[in-house]
């Protein structure tokens, strides 16, 4: 069977709440790519990613995850995807190890090797000393790391992260970035939203900027600079210029 070249393909993706949140969005993310999706508050980033993760049903359009039509075969698409939101949702009364065991069970992971990889994951995120403590006493950063470990434990091929670095200290943020880059080097695809533009600048292979539910710019940092007509401007300056010049939401 031919391997898909796109990890994610969105075509005409549309979602309306009381206003149009995502407006006929077309987006392609290649396999093995680190893609940063940027946008101002309320631009439609989270709504888009929630539709990709199967948490929201689009009003129109299609979502294809690694060649799988996510609207027709949501279970198949979810099998290869992981989702981490900015508000870590974990169980207060479970320990991190028990949480990872649960996640591995939900994704139908085979028992061999899961114990080792769960412990290694927690250790790599600096949680080795806390793996037998219930999560109820954890700080937001620690909870975020547990949620992230849960997303990685079933070895997903597409990782979708909505503001994953919120609440993390500098050391933890570096651990997380290292872990994500290692996954990308191993062939995994990462799509991340962030307001920390320096992270996008340093880590992303390509950057997409979304405004009022539409993709208004996309490319590598150099491509974005060329599109913007400035060769040495920072991503922050470009982002502000793009968002301020974009038309307002419908």
Partner 1 sequence: MTSPGTMWFARHETRLAWRELAGMLTAGRRWRPRSATVMVIAFVIFLHLPAYAVVGRFADVRTPIDKPTLIVMTASILLAWALILSQAIESVTRVFYARADLDLIMSSPAVLTNVFSVRIAAIALTVTVMAMLLATPFVDVLVACGGARWFAAYPVVITMGLSASAVAIAVTVSLFRLCGPARTRLVAQIISAITGAGFVIALQVAAILSYGTLSRFAVLTSDAAAAIAPDAGSLLWWPARAMLGEELLLAPLLACSLVLLGVTMAVLSPRFGNYVAAASPKQVMRAAPSARKLRPGTRRGALRRKEFKLLWRDPWLVSQTLMQLLYLLPPALMLWRSFGDGPGALIVLAPVIVMAAGQLSGGLAWLTISGEDAADLVATAPLPGRSLISAKIEVVLIVIAVVFAPLIAALAWAAPNLAAVTALATIIAAASATSIQLWFRVQARRSQFRRRQTSSRIATFAEAFSSIGWAATAALALVVPTAAAIAAALTATLMALTWKISPVRD
**Cα–Cα distance measured from residue 68 to residue 86, given in angstroms and rounded to the nearest whole number:** 26
Q: Which two tokens stand for residue 221?
A: 């940092």
Contact by Cβ (8 Å): 12, 1:
no
**Cα–Cα distance measured from residue 207 to residue 196, given in angstroms and rounded to the nearest whole number:** 13
Q: Out of 9, 23, 33, 101, which residue is the one contacting partner 1 (CB under 8 A)?
A: 101
Region near partner 1 per CB under 8 A, out of 7-15, 31-39, 129-137, 234-242: 129-137
Phi then psi for residue 236, to 5 deg, are -60, -45
Residue 48 touching partner 1 (CB under 8 A): no
Q: How many residues bind partner 1 (CB under 8 A)?
A: 41
Residue 18 touching partner 1 (CB under 8 A): no
Residue 54 touching partner 1 (CB under 8 A): yes
Contact by Cβ (8 Å): 238, 197:
no
Per-residue mark of binding to partner 1, 187-216 (x: CB under 8 A): ------------------------------
Region near partner 1 per CB under 8 A, out of 109-117, 164-172, 181-189, 191-199: 109-117
Q: How many other CB atoms are found less than 10 A from the CB of residue 135?
A: 20
Q: Which helix (H) or strand (E) holds 99?
A: helix 96-106
Residue 124 touching partner 1 (CB under 8 A): no
Closest distance between partner 1 and the C-beta of residue 219, in Å?
A: 29
Q: Out of 1, 111, 170, 248, which residue is the one contacting partner 1 (CB under 8 A)?
A: 111
């Amino acid at each position: 069977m031919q391997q898909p070249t796109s990890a994610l393909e969105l075509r005409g993706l549309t979602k309306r709440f009381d206003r149009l949140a995502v407006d006929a969005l077309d987006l392609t993310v290649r396999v093995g790519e680190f893609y940063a999706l940027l946008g101002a508050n309320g631009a439609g980033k989270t709504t888009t990613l929630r539709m990709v993760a199967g948490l929201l049903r689009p009003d129109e359009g299609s979502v294809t995850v690694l060649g799988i039509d996510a609207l027709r075969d949501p279970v198949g698409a979810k099998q290869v995807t992981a989702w981490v939101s900015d508000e870590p949702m974990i169980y207060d009364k479970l320990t991190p190890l028990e949480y990872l065991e649960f996640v591995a069970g939900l994704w139908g992971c085979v028992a061999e090797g899961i114990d080792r990889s769960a412990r290694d994951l927690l250790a790599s995120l600096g949680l080795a000393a806390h793996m037998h403590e219930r999560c109820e006493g954890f700080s937001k950063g620690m909870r975020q790391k547990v949620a992230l470990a849960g997303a990685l434990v079933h070895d997903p091929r597409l990782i979708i992260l909505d503001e994953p670095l919120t609440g993390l200290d500098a050391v933890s943020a570096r651990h997380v970035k290292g872990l994500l880059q290692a996954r990308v080097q191993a062939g995994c695809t990462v799509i991340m939203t962030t307001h920390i533009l320096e992270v996008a600048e340093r880590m992303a292979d390509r950057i997409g900027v979304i405004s009022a539910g539409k993709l208004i710019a996309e490319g590598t940092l150099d491509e974005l600079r060329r599109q913007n007509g400035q060769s040495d401007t920072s991503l922050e300056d470009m982002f502000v210029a793009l968002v301020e010049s974009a038309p307002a939401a419908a």
